[in-house]
Structure formats: structure tokens, C-alpha cells
Structure 1
Amino acid sequence: MTANLPPTPRRIAAVCLAVPLLVAFALWAFTWPAARLAPHDLPIGVAGPAAATAPFEQQLASHQGAFEIHRYTDGAAAREAVENREVYGAVVAGEAGPELYTASAAGPLVAQLLQGVGGKAKLTDVVPAPAGDPRGAVFGAGLLPLVLAGIASGALVTLLRLRGGAAIGALLGAAALTGLVAAAIAHSWLGALTGNWSAEAGVLALTTLAVGATTAGLAALIGPPGIGLTALLMVLLGNSFSGVTSAPELLPGAARVIGAQLPPGAAGTLLRSVAFFDGAAAAAPLLTLSLWAGLGLAAVGLAAARRRPAPEAAALAVGEPGQVTTPA
């Protein structure tokens, strides 16, 4: 067994170099987005007479590239835009003075940011964060366990050598049960989610399935190293670039784009929509998660089909029923 291994000095050098490189990559992935948190084209609405909203619009425009201004005819339209997740907040200029609409359920950090921009405007939290999780701590911390559950399910399917339909069934079953357990904890016990219980459980299950299917699919195609590659992708990039503890629009450009296309980022956006906004703006993240899950399951099935011997080969190896071999 040891004859094919590289010489000991090379293996020592590989360990000494690989560990610092991995640590450097992990530190960059986790700390760079946090160190560069700032609004980038953060959508915010304004409503009211142009003369009344002009000073506020000028204030927003002074932060170049930070805000994306959406104009609405009146306060009702602006409020509806906040509820539909078109904007994170809105300033409405009325006879009684300016009023700031926020949605702390969309991200407490963004709501605090808008309060600073809104100045002395009257504050109205249109979609407040749940009483059980007012700072979004539970919501932000709950994503990583689902990612780890997905990696674990994919790894177990691989290590137990489940293939084809058996592997797909195991992944689906593990994801479904994980979704039920996670919803019971986050919604029923902690009160951190306040939407439709079944829909939330479905999102949590789909998140686990997307990661688990990707893990098992990649491992089925390239072998056990696929487990490690998926873990690096989902944990170091997906989790740290998800924006679940802040908002995608607060992340640096590259992190924002990458995070939205990976399961953790899509899951955070989808779960917010389902849990707090009656499913508003859920289509894009739902599609992203479904694609990851579907492609992963397809890879599992494809790998099983490639390993299955052709009928002719199986017949030659086993012998067809009733076949008699005669000597030449």
C-alpha cells in the first residue's frame, strides 16, 4: 500500500502548505464580506410631491451607487412595494411630515441603516421581525445546520454505496425529515418563523435536498473527493456569501452575485419570502434551489446508469436462461 505513496518529505510539505492555504481561503471567504458590508444598489422607495421628496432623493444620490431609488405615487403604493419585497423601505412625504416605512423582517441590519438615512421621519415597521427573533439571530444561525445536514446526507449516501433509486430515495427522505424537524424547532419552538408552517418546512427540506443531491451527485461522478469539493463550495462560499445575516445588497459585488446562485443564498432569500412576506419575490430563489436539487439527483441517476452493465455484457457474464454451451 505504501509503495505507491509519494516520498515522506513530499507528503509533509503537502500538509504544511495545504493547511495554511485552506485557512487563508476560509478567512478570506468569511471575513471579506463582513469587512465590506455597505449598501450596493439597495432598493428604496420615495412617495409624495416631487418638491417634498427632492431633499431626500438628493441625500440618497449623494451616496453614489449605494441606493436604487423607486418612485411611487402615494404612501399606499410605497407600502405595497415594501410588502412585496420590491424595496427594503420607503420614505413618504405627507402633510403630517415625512414617514419612513421599513421591513425589519427583510433584515434588521437594513432596517437600522434606513433609520439612519431617514433622519427624523416617523418610523413605521410595515413587516416587523418576529417577536421570537427580533434581531434575526436565529434566522441567520439556522442556515448553516441545513447546509451541514445536506452535506452529511450526500456523504452518507456515498459512503454507504447507495446508488440510483436507492440513493435518490435516501436523499429525498432525509431532506423531508430534516425540513420537518427544522420547522418544528425554528417555527413551533423558537418562534423565529411566522409564515405557513408547511411551506417553511418545504423550503427547509428543499435547501437540504439541494445541498445533499449536489454532494452525492458530484461524489458519484468523480468519487469521494466530490464530498470535499461540495463542502468547500457550500460552506466557505455559499454560507459566507449568502447574506442571510445582513442582506444580499449589503455584500460586495462578487460575493453578492455568487451567493445568490448558490443554495445557501437562495435558501435565505426564499425562506424570508415564505416566512414573512407571503411568498413575495420567491420565484427566482425557488428556481435556483430546484435547479441544484434536480441537477444533483440527475447526476446520481446518470452515474448509476453508467455503472450498470449493458444487457449483452450481463448475458455473456451470467449466461442467458436455457443457453447451452457446446464444445467447438
Structure 2
Amino acid sequence: MSTRSATPQKGAASRRLIAVVLLVPLLAALALWAFAWPAARTAPRDLPLGVAGPAAATAQVEQQLGRHEGAFDIHRYADEAAAREAIEDRTVYGAVVVTPQGPELLTASAASPAVAQLLQQAVAQQAAADGTQVKTVDVVPAPENDPRGAGLTSSVLPLALAGMAAGAAVTLLGLRGVRAVGALVGVAILIGLVAASIAHSWLGVLTGDWWAEAGVFALTTLAVSGAVAGLAALVGTAGIGITAATIMLIGNPFSGAASAPQMLPEPVGAIGQWLPPGAGTTLLRSVSFYDGSAAIGPALTLAWWAALGLGAVLLGNAHKARATSAEPAPERELATAG
């Protein structure tokens, strides 16, 4: 080999080495920021909380809660029944009810065990300062087999990984158009059935309608796999890495699955709900513990992701077909022969 040909190769190898040395630490720093920053800054931010009872009696409670500046978004209700209904509709995470016997705290550990514990601590501390005791009632309790919600939150990452694997497999196997869409839908349905069998039937961490839960698992998987395959169909295999990085480094840590979207720094909580992991977790809680209350928003988010992803798969295939048909016949023959 001549010196001239060896020199460019050495230069290219050096550039690749520098790229690896710089990019890997950068990705590590990005991952650490995405996961550690929201976790380290977890605190209530405009967390919806109800206050129920006569206006004169609840004024002091509202004033005490207002000392936690920016922590709670207070919703006022006439009585305990209205507060319970708001919790069951997922309008608020809990409520403080003023009764003649003393304050009563209504929580919903199914919505977030972390938030329920936070409310208990905040209200109990204030009551202790006033020399009273607080009765706590869990209106929508978490399942007995999963009191801390660990089983539900642990399902977020596997579903994201399954969706990414399905989208990457369809792309790398060369499936296009209707075949790719059929494969993605079929895989999502099977994953939904398997996930519901494990989480509901075996582990007992979900307690809602079995088929609705399977549908949520399937739709969440399809939203991710469709996005992966769709972007890859439009921009090439680089789309796999771009979508996977978005889901893993933003979607998962910003989902609020372990606490609540309102417990994350702004606008992290809102961004997380626009991505499949966050929307999937919220929807799964709704169908499993709340009979579908507040399910429309996250369901539409997942449906849009799935529809846009599958549409991109079909669009990418059509674009490639037009490009191929536009090539001169000799070039197509050479491409086929190659």
C-alpha cells in the first residue's frame, strides 16, 4: 500500500476515535441529566388537591396549604361526597375534608403512592402543630399485591424496549408498506396480551378490565414501534437511533411513572405526557383503577403516535417506490443486478 493511500485511512481512523471519545461521555452526561435531574428535583408543583367543607371552616386549611408556595392547586368542594367524586374522576389526587370531629384526609394511592404519602406527611405535620389528629381514608387504594405501585411503574421500560425492538426489527428485516404495518400491529397485539397476562393474571398488580389493560399495553407498544419504524422509513436507519434516544432519554425519565407529572420540574411533567411512556402509564392507571376516568387525553396521544408512525411507514414506502420507478431502465437493471 502506498503512503498516499495509508495517510487518509489513518486520518479517518483518528477522526472516528475522537468521535467515540467525545460522543460516549456526552451521551452518558445526557442520560445522567435526563434521569437524575427530575428525580433530584421531585416536589409538588401545582398538584391538584381538594378542600371540602363549609367556607368558614376551610379558610384556615387553605391558608395553611398556601404556605407551601406553588405546591398545590386547590380545588374547593362543598362536602366529602363531592371531594370523593373528584378523586374518583382523577380531577384531584386527594382532599382535606373539614369535619366537626377534625380534619380528614382523602387520598388515592392507586394514582400515586408517592403523592399519597406526601399528602399524609404534609397534612399530618400541620395537624400535629395544631394539636389535632388526621384520619386518613384511601379512596382509590393501590392493589394489595402492589401497594407501592412498583409493578405498574416497572412495566414502562419493558414496553418501551419492546416497541423499539419491534420497530427496529421491521426496519432491518426490510419489511415495507402494508407488510410492515401488519407486522407492527400483530406484534403490538401479542405484546399486549402477554403483558396483561403477566401484570394482571399472574402478578395481580392491575385490577381493571383485562381486555382494556391489554389494549393499553398494545397501543403503547404500537406508538413506540410505529414511531421507530416510521422515522426510519423516512430518513433511513438513523431514525431508529433518533427515536430510541427520544423514548429512552426523555420519554422514560419524564413520564412521572414513579410519582406524578406534577411532581417533576416544569415543563418536564407536561413533556412526558406527550410521549408514549408517560401517556401509556397515565392511561393504564385510568383503565386499571378508575374505570376509564380521564382516559381520553392519553389515549388520543398514543393513538396519534401510532397513526403518525404507521402513516410514515406507508409514506416512506410510497416515496421509495416512486423514486425507483423514476429511475431510467438501465439504472434499475444495474441496481437489481447489484
State the TM-score, normalizing by the size of structure 2. 0.90
Q: In structure 2, what residue type is equivalent to 1:40?
A: R
- TM alignment of 1:239-250, pairs within 5 A: 239-250=252-263
Residue 213 of structure 2: aligned partner: 200
Q: Does 1:31 align with 2:36?
A: yes
SS of the residue 2:70 aligns to = coil
Q: Which of 81, 93, 116 is equivalent to 1:76?
A: 81
Distance 1:5 1:78, change over 3 A: farther
- Separation in 1 of the partners of 2:29 and 2:324? 51
SS of the residue 1:129 aligns to = coil
Q: Does 1:152 align with 2:152?
A: no
**1:21 offset after TM fit, Å?**
0.1
- Separation in 1 of the partners of 2:136 and 2:196? 31
Q: Which sits farther off after the overlay, 208-217 or 118-127?
A: 118-127
**1:309 offset after TM fit, Å?**
3.9
State the TM-score, normalizing by the size of structure 1. 0.93
Q: Which of 41, 61, 67 is equivalent to 1:62?
A: 67
- Separation in 1 of the partners of 2:272 and 2:176? 30
Residue 226 of structure 1: aligned partner: 239
Q: In structure 2, what residue type is equivalent to 1:248?
A: P
- Separation in 2 of the partners of 1:29 and 1:295? 26
Q: Which of 16, 19, 42 is equivalent to 1:14?
A: 19
Q: In structure 1, what residue type is equivalent to 2:89?
A: N
Q: In structure 2, what residue type is equivalent to 1:47?
A: A
Residue 302 of structure 1: aligned partner: 315
**1:212 offset after TM fit, Å?**
0.1
**1:254 offset after TM fit, Å?**
2.2
Residue 333 of structure 2: aligned partner: none
Q: Which of 285, 289, 297 is equivalent to 1:272?
A: 285
Residue 306 of structure 2: aligned partner: 293
**1:99 offset after TM fit, Å?**
1.0
Residue 130 of structure 2: aligned partner: none
Q: Which of 50, 62, 66 is equivalent to 1:45?
A: 50
**1:41 offset after TM fit, Å?**
0.3
Q: In structure 1, what residue type is equivalent to 2:316?
A: A
Q: Residues 263-320 of structure 1: CA distance to partner in whole angstroms, max 9, x if unpaired?
A: 1111111110111000101111111101000000000000011111489759978xxx
Q: Residues 199-228 of structure 1: CA distance to partner in whole angstroms, max 9, x if unpaired?
A: 000000000000000000011111111111
Q: Which of 105, 129, 146 is equivalent to 1:133?
A: 146
Q: In structure 1, what residue type is equivalent to 2:30?
A: F
Q: Which of 199, 204, 210 is equivalent to 1:186?
A: 199
Aligned length: 317
Distance 1:312 1:277, change over 3 A: closer
Distance 1:227 1:97, change over 3 A: same
Residue 295 of structure 2: aligned partner: 282
- Separation in 1 of the partners of 2:207 and 2:297? 21
**1:140 offset after TM fit, Å?**
1.1
Residue 119 of structure 2: aligned partner: 114
Distance 1:309 1:190, change over 3 A: same
Q: Residues 36-61 of structure 1: CA distance to partner in whole angstroms, max 9, x if unpaired?
A: 00000000001111222122111111
SS of the residue 1:246 aligns to = coil
Q: Which of 250, 275, 283 is equivalent to 1:237?
A: 250
- Separation in 1 of the partners of 2:12 and 2:180? 38
**1:117 offset after TM fit, Å?**
2.0
